Structure formats: C-alpha cells, structure tokens
Structure 1
Amino acid sequence: MPPDPFYWPRHGWVRLGEGWADGLRSPLTAAELAEVADWCAVGRPLVIARGRPGDGAGELRLGLATPDKRRIGLHVAADAVAVRLEPLRLAEAVDAAPEAWRPMLVELVRRAQDVGVTPAVYGSLAWQHRTGLGYVRPDSDVDLLFVPRDRWQLDGLLDLLTAVGDGSPRLDGEILLPDGAAVAWRELAGRPARLLVKGPAEVSLRDLPSVLALFDRENAA
C-alpha cells in the first residue's frame, strides 16, 4: 500500500530525525549515506517523491537534489520523519527567485487566487528557498503545483496558465486531481483524448472525460 497521498503529498517536504538511517528500507552507498547525513545534520529538508508499487504501508520515498543536479533517492519508514512540511506556497518563495522574475510571480499568485487557487512551487526554486543554496539558473523553469477544487477553478486556472505560461520564466508543473493523482497542466490544457497521470505510486494513462469528471463530482459534493 502506498503512503497516503494527502498526508504525505508528493512535493511535500520532511526533515528526518536522529537515527533516521535505522529506518532505511533500501540501502544507500557509503558515499550517499554520508552525504545525506551531512545534509540532515544542518537541518536541510528532503522532498517527498512518488512511491513505487510494492512499497509497504508506512514507507516513504524521498529525494535529495543538489545544486549541481545530483540526485539521491531514499526509501525510509515514515517514523524516521521528525518534521513534515506541506508543499511550499509560491508566495513564500518569491523572494528566492531572480529579481526580474518577481513581479510576474507575484501577479501569478494574485490571478490564481482570483479563481480560488493558491499556487505551490517545487523544483529548483523550491529547493533554493528551502536550503538557501543556488539552484535557479537564468533558463530555469518554475515548477508549480495547483489544487483546483471544481471545474470552474480548473478552467479559469488553465486559461490563466495558457496565457502566461510561455513568458519569462517559463511555467511548468502539475494539477493535483481530487483523487490524489496529478497531471501536467500543459498536457491537460491541450485536451488530448488520453492523459499521462501520476498516482501516488504509479503512472497510468486515463481518458480525458474521466479526469474532468473528478472535478465535476467535487463540484457536486
């Protein structure tokens, strides 16, 4: 059984507690173990990643990304976590962005909130805000996470992103579906017959009407 997608949402963050290595469910190399230990010792967080089929209940997949684009994946027991953090709100990360990006990001937050959606951010800008290290480059995209609750919010959000998404910075990211899975906003905006959907522990193809129907049910609830 994969972790609860709402309690342990992908793109959320954790800080591991003392003795976290005792909770490892898959081994790390000695070099990886030392790097993760140093990372955690200074209080830096890890990001919650998608689980894998066969992961047990109470197990998490976590990621450590370095500014030079190295990646370390961890498979740990959830009780190794000392602090759990929600996905980072974009409004909180604006000051970590290059100065030239900030007016656009502030306006995006405002316009998204006008349709009832509060944007979150993951990827390089989120890592830069969370750690104080230099992840963002002039050509970096901004990876965003949106959680619309109904079709009105979804349609307004997709109209907004289609209008501004190819500006500077370029906007990428995902729409979180009411069932806890996610789909790339660019793919959903294109209204293809079938969509690549990322679940808590798997990736699958779904037809467009079934995805949109999730928001119709949310609206009717």
Structure 2
Amino acid sequence: MMRPELLHWPRHGWVRLGEGWADRLRSPLASAERAEAEDWCRAGRPLVIARGRPGDGEGELRLGLATPDKRRIGLHVAVDAVAERLEPLALAEAAVSAPEAWRRMLADLARRAQELGTAAAVYGSLAWQHRTGLRYVRPESDIDLLFAPHDRRQLEGLLELLMAVGNDSPRLDGEILLPDGAAVAWRELADRPARLLMKGAAEVGLRDLASVLALFDREEAA
C-alpha cells in the first residue's frame, strides 16, 4: 500500500538539505560518506529522492547522492532536514546539458510528448549533469525519462512514440508514472507481459497488466 505522505515526496524529485542536516539523520553514515555528503551539500548541490523502505517512519526520507564516477551514497533523514524541494527535472530544460549531437532529438521528443498532453521529465545521468554542472553523461549513456500520462489515450501515444525512437542513440529508458503513484518501466509496459514489476514510493512488487491498464481507463472515464 502506498504511504500517502510519500506521494508529496515523489521518487526522482530533488531536495537541498539545510544547515545541520546531519543532526537529523535517521540512519548512520560511514565517516567518509558523511564527509563527502557534507561537502556536497555545502556546495549547494541537490540530492535525489529515492524509494523509501517499508520500515521507515512517518516524516522520513531516503535520498541518493550519485557521483560522476558512479559511486552512490544513500541518506536517511527527517523531512525537516530539507531546505528546498525541487520537482523532477523537465526534459526540455535538461536537454541543453546533453551532448550537442543529442539536443535536437531530445528537444523534439519533449515537444512531441507535450503535444500528446503529458510533459517529459528526466532522471539519471543527464539530470545529475544538469543539476550539478558536473560531468555524468558519457557517449554510451542512456537517457532515463519519466512520464505521467493522465489516461489511456496519452499512454498509448507515448508508448508508440517511445518505441519509434527509443532504440536510436541515445537509447531511451525510464518509467511511466501510474495514476496511483507507482511506476513501471516503459519498455516493460510496451511489451505487454501478463505481470509487470511495479516500483512504489516504498515497495516493489508485481501487478497484473490488466489492473495497470484499468487505472488509465478509470482516469479517462472520470
């Protein structure tokens, strides 16, 4: 079951932590990781909101710090450590930080998704590069996209668009956000298996394809 308060802190959103955040840790950090996180936050760089864990208490967040050399540091903090909250990063905004050869395609993808009625967001290496100014994107990097279609028409249009362009360079990966707040990989949904791996705010599990598609049918009928 989705914890309602976590809907206000969606995965792939971003935060900046305020002064004294380390006093609000809910799980300890190794000394080297804590020092690196302190330097990171002192530089004004953001952290990404990660999936919670079933045992986490109310008012707690799991955050991720990814470095350009692919190291990961996980932070578990109280929400009152947050000084600023940022929405998932729009693809149209982040495209300027992509390699020049990719920019036109990404801007066009953002425009075509908007024409379908749903905005495209981005997470992963391109989002980190845009948010920090550090170099994360490599020639072999994928682009991780996030979409939140409102109904079945938008969903089917997005999947058709992504299947048409998703295997070019760069390769497009990412997730479709469901109306109930869970998410599924768009490639898996496009394959139409009987069961789908779903990622919630604090849990991972399988759902029937029919029940997932029914969520969008209900939105369309509303």
TM-score, normalization by structure 2: 0.98
Report the equivalent of 1:27: 28
* Cα distance between partner residues in 2 of 1:123 and 1:159: 23
**Contact 1:5/1:180 (8 A) holds in 2:** no
In the TM superposition, residue 217 of structure 1 has moved relative to its aligned partner by 1.0
The 5 Å alignment of 1:121-160 reads 121-160=122-161
**Contact 2:144/2:173 (8 A) holds in 1:** yes
**Contact 1:24/1:76 (8 A) holds in 2:** yes
* Cα distance between partner residues in 2 of 1:197 and 1:15: 27
* Cα distance between partner residues in 2 of 1:92 and 1:115: 18
Alignment-mate amino acid for residue 89 of structure 2? L
Report the equivalent of 2:12: 11
* Cα distance between partner residues in 2 of 1:5 and 1:137: 32
Q: Give 3-state SS (helix, strand or coil) of 1:95's partner.
A: helix
Alignment-mate amino acid for residue 18 of structure 1? E
Alignment-mate amino acid for residue 202 of structure 1? E
In the TM superposition, residue 4 of structure 1 has moved relative to its aligned partner by 2.7
**Contact 1:3/1:58 (8 A) holds in 2:** no
Report the equivalent of 1:199: 200
The 5 Å alignment of 1:1-221 reads 2=3, 4-221=5-222
Q: Give 3-state SS (helix, strand or coil) of 1:6's partner.
A: helix
Moved runs in structure 1, 4+ residues, more than 6 A?
none
Q: Give 3-state SS (helix, strand or coil) of 2:145's partner.
A: strand
* Cα distance between partner residues in 2 of 1:199 and 1:34: 30
How many pairs align?
221
TM-score, normalization by structure 1: 0.98
In the TM superposition, residue 218 of structure 1 has moved relative to its aligned partner by 1.1
Q: Give 3-state SS (helix, strand or coil) of 2:7's partner.
A: coil
Q: Give 3-state SS (helix, strand or coil) of 1:192's partner.
A: coil
Alignment-mate amino acid for residue 195 of structure 1? L
Gaps of 5+ in 2: none
Gaps of 5+ in 1: none
* Cα distance between partner residues in 1 of 2:59 and 2:21: 14
* Cα distance between partner residues in 2 of 1:83 and 1:92: 19
In the TM superposition, residue 6 of structure 1 has moved relative to its aligned partner by 2.9
* Cα distance between partner residues in 1 of 2:104 and 2:87: 24
Q: Give 3-state SS (helix, strand or coil) of 1:63's partner.
A: strand
Alignment-mate amino acid for residue 51 of structure 1? G
**Contact 1:3/1:51 (8 A) holds in 2:** no
In the TM superposition, residue 5 of structure 1 has moved relative to its aligned partner by 3.7
In structure 2, do the counterparts of structure 1 residues 197 and 187 end up closer, same or farther at CA, with 3 Å as the change threshold?
A: same
Q: Give 3-state SS (helix, strand or coil) of 1:52's partner.
A: coil
Give the stretch that moved more between structures: 3-12 or 69-78: 3-12
Identity across the alignment (%): 79
In the TM superposition, residue 114 of structure 1 has moved relative to its aligned partner by 1.3
RMSD of aligned alpha carbons: 1.0
